Each structure stands twice: as C-alpha cells, then as structure tokens.
Structure 1
Amino acid sequence: MEWIYKEIIKVGKLLFSEGLVSARSGNISRAFMERLYITRTGSSLGALRKEDIIELPLKETHILDKRASVELSVHKKIIIETERRAVVHAHPVYTLLVSYEKEEVVPVDSEGREILGSVPVLELEKPSASDELAERASSSLKYLPVVIVRGHGVFAAADELYKAYSFISTLEQSCKILFLRGS
C-alpha cells in the first residue's frame, strides 16, 4: 500500500504549503478495502513521513487507535456513513473567520459557487473529537463535499484525497474573497 502513504504525504504538504493547516493541526485519512490509514496524533502534515501514518481496521477498535489522530472516530464515521474513501480535516484561517459570522457560506466567486454550492456551518457544543461532531459531519457529508465546524475547522470527503483537499482549498479561496470584501 505504498501509494496510500505517498498520497497522504503529498496532500499533507499541499495543505501546509497553502496555509490550510499549521505546524501541528489537521489530519488526513484514506480507506482501502477494510483498512484505514490515518495521520498520527500531533504529526506535522507539512513534514509527514511514513511513520506518521497509522494503519488500522476500518470498522473495529485496535490497540494503536490511541496513536492515531484524536479525530479518528470522526474520520471512521464519515467514511462508513458516506461510503467515500478519503477525508481531510484542516483549519483554514479565512474559512474560520467567515464561519463566526454566517450559518452557511455561499461563495460569490464563480468557481466556489460551481464546485461547492453553499456550505453549512455547524455549531456544536463540543466541536472537536466528539460523537456529536462525528454524527453531524457524516450526516452533512453524505450530500455535500465539505462542511465547516464553527471555531474548529473543516472536513471534506471524497473518493480520493486530492479531491477532498481541493474542496478545502476552493472553500478557503472563496472565504478569503468574502472576508476581504466584507460580506
């Protein structure tokens, strides 16, 4: 499964180079067959190594679960419920700023509108590593490519990692436009 490690490492570098994650934020997962490959807790997505990616059973608990991202249960629920195979979680600055002012983000730029449509902003009591987050994010991502969690970040799901990353990148560009124009 060397290709999965390479794919995760490449997307981690893209997220970091665009400023969509900071040195120790965000996480990435990729399902293949009944296995889940997910970034290790505390890993730096911009400098990932193969050792920073944990291989786990998709539908069972494992002794290595505690080494995986704290968002492991959220990633698993999204993959199982949506039947998509790739999840990216990031903390894009402009998207977070816009999420404090809106219940949904509707891009004004043509690319954002065409690719994303409108993106809901979820308000959660516990916005990180919670059952509530897993349930609400997976429910939204059944029908949408990306969802924003107010004060926490975004989750995107797709059939491949690059596409999930591209949804987040597009959303951040759209939110930057919204923020800079004051809308």
Structure 2
Amino acid sequence: MPVREFERIGKRLFAEHLVGGNFGNISVRKGDEGFYIKRTGDYLDEVHELVFVPFVGVVPKNASSEYRVHSDVYRNSSHQAIVHAHPQAAIAASLVRDAVLAEDSEGKMFCPKIPVVEGAPGTQELANNVVSALKTTKLVIVRGHGTFAAGKNLDEAFQLTSLADHSCRVIALKHFFQ
C-alpha cells in the first residue's frame, strides 16, 4: 500500500477541516493477514511510514493508538478501508444526539442515520461499540471524539467522513435559521 494514497486522503481531510494536528488515522486491509495503518504521531498529510498490524501476532508499538478499532472492524466485516477523523460538526452533534438523522438529500441517500456510540479513545470498549455499529452501516460517530467511516476503499471512507460533517452542518444551520 503506497504512502502516497494515505497522504492523498490525509490532504483532503485537512483541506475540509475534518482533522487537525496529528489527530485521526486511516487504514487499509491486506487480505486476511492484517492491515496497514498510519504511524502514531504522523500527520495525515505527511505520512512517513505505514505500519503493518497483523491479525495474529504482536502489534507494533508505533501503530496508531486506535489500532484496536481498525483491527476489530476488519476481523468482523468485509470493509477494506477505514478513515477516523474529527469533524467538528459531527462531534458537536454527538454531544446532544444519540443518532444523526440526515435532513439533506445526500445524507438521506447515502447514510440516512448515523449512530452515536460511546467509548474512550484507544480502548477495547470503543472498538466493540464501533464494530457493533459498523455491522449495519458504514459510518459512526463516537460521542465527543470523532467519526469512523468504513468502505471498499479509502475514497469511499473519505466521502462518508465528509458526508457526516456536511449533514451535521446542515442540521446546525437549519436550527440557526429557524
């Protein structure tokens, strides 16, 4: 898996203000062996090295702190790529809602209901809750933390991440104008 592909998606996440600093991570599955993930501490738009995390064996120390979520999603689904981002509007919505019901046409079409789950960053509880949600949808918001979007490739996972923020912004703006 080329570093360039991770950087391309990382640059798009930064351009749309869906991540900040060195937060967030992305991964791509490699068959039944494991997955490639961003190295902890790397910025998404300047990925220096990908870390391979095997499904069986020792997890490298330099793997992203959210490797548990990525690993468990891949083990329990057919998803091939995951984007974890911190879209501000989606995070804000997660603080006041248990699910986001899209009101915009794109949201209704591609992800009409985005569940909100609980779990502290980097924990097995978070991994369990995200896996449970991603069995029936491709997008979930972790309360106060961010989104996990899964798909057949990084582009699909990115698009869903962008959609989450867009749908939440539309809802917020609707309430502002009322």
TM interval, short-chain normalised = over 0.9
Question: Which of residues 56, 80, 91 in structure 1 aligns to 2:53?
Answer: 56
Question: Which of residues 144, 147, 151 in structure 1 aligns to 2:144?
Answer: 151
Question: Which of residues 76, 97, 100 in structure 2 aligns to 1:102?
Answer: 97
Q: Name the amino acid aligned to 1:168.
A: T
Q: Are the counterparts in 2 of residues 79 and 87 from structure 1 also a CA contact under 8 Å?
A: no
Q: Are the counterparts in 1 of residues 37 and 63 from structure 2 also a CA contact under 8 Å?
A: yes
| Greater share of residues in helix | 1
Identity %: 37
Displacement of 1:155: 0.5
Q: Are the counterparts in 2 of residues 81 and 139 from structure 1 also a CA contact under 8 Å?
A: no
- Structure 1 stretches (4+) deviating beyond 3 angstroms? none
Question: Which of residues 165, 170, 174 in structure 2 aligns to 1:172?
Answer: 165
Q: Are the counterparts in 1 of residues 118 and 126 from structure 2 also a CA contact under 8 Å?
A: no
Displacement of 1:151: 0.7
Q: Are the counterparts in 2 of residues 39 and 68 from structure 1 also a CA contact under 8 Å?
A: yes
RMSD across aligned positions (CA): 1.4
In the TM superposition, 1:113-132 aligns within 5 A as 113-124=108-119, 127-132=120-125
2:9 counterpart residue number: 11
Is 1:41 aligned to residue 54 of structure 2?
A: no
Q: Are the counterparts in 1 of residues 65 and 122 from structure 2 also a CA contact under 8 Å?
A: yes
**Structure 2 residues not aligned, in runs of 5+:** none
Q: Deviations over 1:35-80 (max 9, x none)?
A: 311001111112223x2x2123233324xx2101000111100111
**Structure 1 residues not aligned, in runs of 5+:** none
Q: Are the counterparts in 2 of residues 17 and 46 from structure 1 also a CA contact under 8 Å?
A: no
SS of alignment partner, residue 137 of structure 2 = coil
